[in-house]
């Protein structure tokens, strides 16, 4: 049976105090979102002007957002009344709980919101570092993505964080990404997945860096990656090429897979557009040499 938005609102974590007028809200430390049932016009018309299609609910829900704390709401689009809502901090807290339940402390969180407050990326850095000669300390990260407008399903990715020239660089794998359908399963299952990543990170991250550092790209491979990035904008390609030149000067020969990865991720770490950030991370991941055991575990987690 088709369950519309209004009948599911409370179980999805929305405040339903205004449900009688088609108003549903959610607020946390990041932002506030308001969903309003859309109706056909017109409402204030005389009896003789009324039409059978006046003032009836549509299958569309309008979205309004504002920061927390904030002033004016902004209209940012609409969703179908079949949309499955999950609040940003509801999702973040599920991940925090899973991390803490396996005995891992959280170092810090870095939250990025889109300009209209409909998209969130929260990078939860875990205190379980592995030290590598070329990179220093590398820490595991859980990257939480969510949207309030249906443009991206809630997801949790596994990644890594490291410091480069006093700047924190964060990367998320596309391998093993947990989608919303899995996130809504039991907390025991999520805890098991987080624990699996922590184990594979500890056992394999150093090998991944070493193998990637020792893998020299061919000129064709390097140009192929840069050509891919150019599809996202010539300026992005030029900036990443400049970063790569700083890491591996042209007169030193072709760069390693790790150096190309690092140049892309350094750039993507400060990319404000969340869709573009993900595309750049995918390009960076494509050059990594991922150990078979790590690939196997990530690939079977959830994809």
> What does 203-267 look like in DSSP terms, one character per residue?
HHHHHHHHHHHH-BPPHHHHHHHHHHHHTT-HHHHHHHHHHHHHHS-GGG-SPBHHHHHHHHHHH
Please check the confidence at residue 8 and state whether its pLDDT lies above 50. yes
Among 223, 154, 198, CA closest to 301 = 198
pLDDT for residue 200 is more than 90 = yes
Q: Is the pTM of this model over 0.75?
A: yes
pLDDT (tens digit, 9 = 90+) per residue, 129-150?
898 888 899 999 999 999 999 9
pLDDT at 160: 96
Summarize the confidence of residues 197-217 as an average pLDDT.
94
pLDDT above 70 covers what percent of the chain?
Answer: 97
| Distance from C-alpha of 34 to C-alpha of 74, rounded to nearest angstrom | 10
DSSP-assigned beta bridge partners for residue 96: none
Confidence of residue 187 (pLDDT cuts 50, 70, 90): confident
Res 54: pLDDT: 86
Task: Read off φ and ψ for residue 24, nearest 5 degrees.
Answer: -135, 135
**Considering only CA atoms, which of 289, 102, 95, 301 is closest in space to residue 204?**
289
Render pLDDT for 79-108 as a digit per residue (tens, 0 to 9). 999 999 999 999 999 999 999 999 999 999
Domain edges within the chain: 5-80, 88-212+291-301, 219-285
């Amino acid at each position: 049976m088709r369950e519309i938005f209004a009948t599911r609102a409370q179980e999805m974590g929305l405040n339903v105090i205004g449900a009688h007028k088609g108003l549903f809200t959610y607020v946390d430390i990041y932002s506030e979102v308001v969903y309003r049932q859309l109706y056909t016009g017109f409402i204030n018309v005389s009896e003789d002007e009324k039409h059978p299609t006046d003032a009836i609910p549509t299958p569309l829900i309008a979205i309004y957002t504002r920061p927390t704390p904030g002033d004016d709401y902004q209209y940012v689009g609409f969703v179908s009344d079949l949309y499955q809502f999950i609040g940003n901090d509801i999702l973040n807290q599920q991940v925090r709980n899973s991390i803490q339940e396996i005995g891992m402390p959280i170092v810090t969180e870095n939250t990025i919101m889109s300009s209209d407050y409909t998209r969130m990326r929260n990078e939860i850095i875990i205190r379980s570092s592995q030290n590598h000669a070329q990179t220093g300390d590398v820490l595991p990260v859980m990257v939480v993505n969510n949207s309030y407008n249906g443009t991206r399903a809630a997801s949790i990715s596994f990644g890594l964080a490291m410091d480069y020239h006093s700047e924190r660089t964060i990367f998320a794998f596309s391998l093993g990404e947990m989608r919303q359908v899995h996130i809504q399963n039991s907390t025991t299952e999520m805890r098991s997945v987080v624990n699996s990543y922590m184990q594979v990170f500890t056992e394999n991250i150093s090998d991944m860096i070493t193998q990637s550092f020792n893998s020299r790209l061919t000129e064709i491979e390097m140009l192929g990656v840069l050509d891919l990035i150019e599809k996202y904008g010539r300026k992005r390609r030029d900036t990443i090429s400049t970063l790569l030149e700083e890491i591996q000067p042209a007169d030193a020969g072709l760069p390693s897979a790790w150096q190309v990865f690092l140049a892309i991720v350094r750039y993507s770490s400060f990319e404000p557009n969340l869709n573009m950030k993900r595309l750049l991370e995918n390009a960076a991941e494509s050059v990594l040499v991922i150990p078979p055991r790590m690939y196997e575990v990530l690939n079977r987690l959830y994809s």
